[in-house]
Amino acid sequence: MSSRPWTRTLGAISAAGALITAILVATTSPAPAGRPSGGAGWRACLAGSPDRQAVFTRAARISGVPRAVLLGVSYLESRWDDHAGSPSTAGGYGPMHLTHVVASTPSARFDALGKGDGSAEPRVPSYAGTTRLTTAQVRTLDRAATMVGVSQSRLRTDPVANICAGSALLASYHHGSAHGLDAWSGAVARYSTASEQRTALRFAREVYAVIRKGRARTTDDGQRVRLAPHPQARLDAAQVRSLELTEPGHTRVDCPPYLGCESVPAPYEQYGDTPGDYGNHDLANRPRDLRIDDIVIHDTEGSWDEALQLVQDPTYLGWHYTVRSSDGQIAAHLDPKDVGWHAGNWYVNMHSIGVEHEGFAAQGATWYTESLYESSAALVRHLAHEYGVPLDRAHIIGHDQVPGITPANVAGMHWDPGPYWDWEHYMTLLGHPISADRHAHGDVVTVKPGFSDNEQPVTGCDADDGCPVQGTNFVYLHQSPSADSPLVTDVGLHPDGSPSTTEVSDIGARAAAGQQLLVSQRVGDWLGVWWLGEKGWIADPKAHHSVVPTRAQVVVPRGADPVPVYGRAYPERSAYPSQIPYQTVTPLQYAIQPRQAYVLADSHLQTDYYYAKTFRCAGVALDCTDVVGHDRYYEIWFGHRIAYVRAADVRVTHG
């Protein structure tokens, strides 16, 4: 989240908006059933093989829904995962995301298991002024259960029954007798249960994009499912527009039109008596005056509603976009030309766009839905193209990769989006998957541990010290080539020199997917890599490699002395006008030791400091000025985070 932290409650999640407009859904009256068979047909669907691919095939045949459409809808709703009977943040169950939600008050609590206030039902807050929720809108599970003649509890826990019932529900939304893929556009949009046309249209577009490209993956319970590509599949947008959904007015935002982003402006206003009492961002003219180099991925550590309330508070902080968990809806807050206050590092703020995602880092997949990933990736692709941001993990970074600006700031830096954000899937959606770019093993490697089957031990997510068992995006580094050895030490997080831990917020020994490392030694299935000025060891078994070979340059010390590492790339003292205070560049508590090497992440940084201290740049000479220096810096991969070194202190060579 932003640099002014929200309270992180790991044991329970506030429901004051956790579900909100995620399921504020209003559909028109259901269409007559399509072609689903009678009771005998559904009994055959329920009693057949539990293999998930076979279930989808069987359900499609019995319901009359084209298999590609059924697979596409389910993929967008759940990536074909079952989640072991636990509901999503929008109260949806199983591969078909069938919903059953009970209204409650804003004081309700909602945890990862959907249990709150003594109830096992996920609950939606009832806010003054929000759209009324109807039974048909929030209880698709109830209707689907009736259609196939099974209990609601079975649809929550039995993926076979869930898919069969979901296909019946989807078939009931289909009008007419046409059965081409495009003929199901209206039914697909209706299945989203969106009340707004732009949200329904976006969901349907994303489903048809999945159908065109195809997908294949292993689900969270080990089922292999494949949707073959259908390149000719096209959405019939006219069907969606005929559903008579609400169509709000349009406000210009920097967002692809098909995403239907809404405008929720962050205020630039003065709230106190002095020129410095203003918020919650700074005006600029990027990229003309300040380059945009990075896009920072955050999670909100709160609900959609809470995030939108905070971003509209001039005394809080501003970021550029927020993405909703349940359906991928995007709210735009700042024009990317302006500087948001989101990363906790002013240099990174100056050169980045901040994108928040509804969710809690310690809960992971409960919040990081496929709709959220797909919408976010579409937005980031657009922004990267528009502003020239490279689509790689050195420039599409997590908030957890942002360095502290001084030694005192390191321990307080954030760790979202956390160990459960699927970087490998996200980079694939961006069109730049994490992959090997050379055949032979060399000295430079990129971390790629897999995700769904990479269940690293993580602790401290709740009061019982437990964390949900799910895929993780990292591998641990040990002090020696043995799983029994302690984890490496991060002196910024553990000043006493104690080892890093498996605590969910402790990033000290985590090499995340997409990070690049230099290998200095190999012992069996272990790789010795340079990490925070020391050597750490990661397991790389031949049966399941955790890294892939990479072409990259590295930096090494020019002389025999340790090289300081910095958290920002500010100019030298002589670059500052006399009216602007010099900003010191203090070395962090780490250093690159002689004979060590770290992978170069970016050699074309802008060495500058944007001096913006007063509201509308009034009353102070040279306010809102970008001070540009001549001292060059390089960005490097250094531990879990990025860091900066002076070009004069190192030399660049091939890894």
d(CA 603, CA 553): 10
d(CA 209, CA 188): 13
Percentage above 90 pLDDT, the chain:
73
Pick from 92, 112, 108, 82: nearest CA to 23: 92
| 566 DSSP 8-state letter | B
Q: Which two tokens stand for residue 105?
A: 């008050």
Bridge partners, 177 (sequence order): none
Q: According to the model, what pLDDT value does residue 116 have?
A: 26
Q: According to the model, what pLDDT value does residue 621 have?
A: 61
Q: According to the model, what pLDDT value does residue 9 have?
A: 31
Q: According to the model, what pLDDT value does residue 441 have?
A: 66
Do residues 555 and 645 lie in contact, with contact meaning Cβ atoms separated by under 8 Å? yes
Span 184-198, pLDDT tens digits = 999 999 998 888 888
**Angle at Cα 333 formed by Cα 330 and Cα 339, nearest 5°?**
130
Q: How many CB atoms lie within 10 A of CB 221?
A: 13
**Angle at Cα 208 formed by Cα 205 and Cα 210, nearest 5°?**
110
DSSP structure string for 322-389: EE-TTT--EEE-S-TTSEES-SS-HHHHHTEEEEEESB-TTTGGGT--HHHHHHHHHHHHHHHHHHT-
Q: According to the model, what pLDDT value does residue 350 have?
A: 98
Pick from 418, 328, 325: nearest CA to 122: 325
d(CA 433, CA 392): 9
d(CA 290, CA 137): 46
Do residues 83 and 77 lie in contact, with contact meaning Cβ atoms separated by under 8 Å? no
Q: Which two tokens stand for residue 548?
A: 């892939």
d(CA 291, CA 13): 37
Span 459-474, pLDDT tens digits = 999 877 778 888 999 9
User: Which amino acid is it at 189?
Assistant: A
Point out the residues of the chain with pLDDT beneath 50: 2-34, 102-136
Indicate the burial class of 404 (C-beta count within 10 angstroms; 0-12, 13-18, 19 or more): buried
Q: According to the model, what pLDDT value does residue 23 have?
A: 33
Q: According to the model, what pLDDT value does residue 449 have?
A: 97
Q: Tell me the domains of the chain and their CATH numbers.
A: 27-100+139-241 (1.10.530), 257-557 (3.40.80.10), 563-654 (no CATH)
388: left (phi over 0), alpha (psi -120 to 50) or beta: left
Residue 324's contacts (CB-CB under 8 Å, 6 or more residues apart) are: 21, 22, 304, 330, 331, 358, 372
Q: According to the model, what pLDDT value does residue 113 have?
A: 23
**In terms of residues, how long is the chain?**
655
The number of angstroms, rounded, from the C-alpha of 555 to the middle of its chain's C-alpha atoms is: 30
Q: What is the pTM of this model?
A: 0.84
Pick from 156, 163, 146: nearest CA to 95: 163
